[in-house]
Amino acid sequence: MKNKQIPYIDQLLELGKLYKVDEIKLYAKSKKKLTTSQIELILLKNKIRLPEQSYNKKKIAEIKFKEQVVTNILITLFLITFVISLISVRPFIKTVTNEIKFTYVAKEYKSNFNNDDYKKKDSTEFSANKNQDENYIGIDTQITLNLFENLKYDLKSIRLGQSVKPIYLTKLPKDLKKIKSTNKRKETFIKIVMPLILIENEKIIEDRKKLFKILGKQSNTMGEKVWLKRRFKDYDIKGEDISELKLRLDIIPTSIAIAQAAKESGWGTSRFALEGNAMYGQWTWGGDGIEPSQKDEKKEHKILKFPKLQSSVSAYMKNLNTHRGYSEFRKERSKIREKNKTVKGIDLVAYLYNYAQTGSEYVKILKKIIEQNDLTDFDNSILMNSSRSKSLTL
């Protein structure tokens, strides 16, 4: 028995319903009758193929079934893609969650740090217990230690590959030397200076990547040319010497930067470091500086002051990357780069003999600081997604 044929105009209306053509629905609601030609025109306008032959009920059902199958396949593919994407981004979600947690705790500490009532209250409490507690640590250091503990800023984890929390202190705690344990005092100092070193190195790495990207192009934009001119100026290069810029625009190994900061600032306890954020003992003859208590009368230098610790780190890196006294340091660093090896402080420390008047003795001290404190472990350390995370500055 043959299926009953559906009139052609009804077939067109069925297709309109099937593909949910709004224009036909509107006409149906308004009770306006459309001619066959008008319905065909509307369907064609919506890119719907017209029946090639008279469709019966079975044919219409087949079209509906095919449409449902296609829809189901698309939904299934979407779900599979979503599940795969969810699995692949799990590490990223975990990292972001940690960043949110870190940022929240950091903001709480910053808020407390700037609260006068909090300062007065804790200062009174610590003062009352000072004579009773031989291991008393003043307010500045105590806040720093509590902050590091609550944010789980741990050097052991960093040595194992964990990224470094972006906590940037603007100054050193004035009572850092009151930490009785030498190891704890050194670890606290390392935790303070390491993020400052890493962020400056990160800026250099970004500039270095941009430099080689520009050099790899056949022609450069005006903006790129201006950027290059600024880098030549920043690194004191005359004659726009590209090869010299490659030598100078590079990182200072974290281990060396920590070791020199430790040596020059007495692990964060020197007068210059505490009063002027001068962690690297750089001299000045004309800038804002601190007068050394003991110095040769023939020498009129001062120790250069900085508005914050990070400025001191930035100036130190520029000094190593531009001063002629460290040209051997830069050349050796370039040789290591050419061999595709990691730039490690222990391989470059011998070329810093010009940093102090003691020369080779100074190098021996730096090498000893690096080895005794296992600072080479930090040469591969990176900041915790610093481009996305919010940092804490105190």
pLDDT tens digits, residue range 315-369? 999 999 999 999 999 999 999 999 988 899 999 999 999 998 889 999 999 999 9
Judge contact between 199 and 166, C-beta under 8 A. yes
Considering the domain boundaries, does residue 108 fall inside one? no
- 94: tokens are 């975990």
Q: What is the pLDDT along the chain (394 residues), one digit of tens a residue?
A: 445 566 777 777 777 777 777 777 777 666 667 777 777 777 777 777 777 554 555 555 666 666 677 777 888 888 888 777 767 656 655 554 454 445 544 555 555 544 444 333 343 333 434 444 444 455 588 888 888 888 889 999 999 999 998 888 888 988 888 888 999 999 999 999 999 999 999 999 999 999 999 999 888 899 999 999 999 999 999 888 999 999 999 999 999 999 999 999 999 998 888 888 889 988 776 766 677 666 555 566 788 888 899 999 999 999 999 999 999 999 999 999 999 888 999 999 999 999 988 899 999 999 999 999 999 999 999 998 755 444 555 5
**For the chain, what is the mean pLDDT?**
79
pLDDT at 371: 96
Q: Of 88, 116, 134, which residue is a domain's last?
A: 88
Look up the CATH number of the domain holding residue 372. Answer: 1.10.530.10
Rounded CA-CA distance 353/325 in Å is 9
User: Are 165 and 255 in the same domain?
Assistant: yes
Q: Of 57, 88, 119, which residue is a domain's last?
A: 88
Rounded CA-CA distance 257/247 in Å is 18
User: Are 160 and 74 in the same domain?
Assistant: no
Rounded CA-CA distance 242/380 in Å is 27
User: Are 228 and 361 in the same domain?
Assistant: yes
User: Are 279 and 178 in the same domain?
Assistant: yes
pLDDT one-digit tens code per residue, 137-180:
555 888 888 888 888 899 999 999 999 988 888 889 888 888 88
Judge contact between 283 and 270, C-beta under 8 A. no
User: Are 190 and 324 in the same domain?
Assistant: yes
Considering the domain boundaries, does residue 133 fall inside one? no
User: Are 84 and 216 in the same domain?
Assistant: no
User: Are 291 and 379 in the same domain?
Assistant: yes
Considering the domain boundaries, does residue 259 fall inside one? yes
User: Are 77 and 159 in the same domain?
Assistant: no
For the chain, what is the domain count? Answer: 2
User: Are 323 and 197 in the same domain?
Assistant: yes
Considering the domain boundaries, does residue 118 fall inside one? no
190 phi/psi in degrees, rounded to 5: -60, -40
- 233: tokens are 């100026």
pTM of the model: 0.67
Considering the domain boundaries, does residue 250 fall inside one? yes
User: Are 161 and 40 in the same domain?
Assistant: no
Considering the domain boundaries, does residue 357 fall inside one? yes
User: Are 384 and 304 in the same domain?
Assistant: yes
**What does the buried/exposed string (b/e) look like for 204-217 if buried means 16 or more CB atoms within 10 Å of the residue's CB?**
beebbeebeebeee
Considering the domain boundaries, does residue 197 fall inside one? yes
Rounded CA-CA distance 82/88 in Å is 10
Q: Of 62, 88, 114, which residue is a domain's last?
A: 88
Considering the domain boundaries, does residue 324 fall inside one? yes
pLDDT at 336: 94
User: Are 324 and 185 in the same domain?
Assistant: yes
pLDDT at 23: 77
Range of 47's domain?
A: 8-88
Judge contact between 166 and 195, C-beta under 8 A. yes
pLDDT at 79: 82
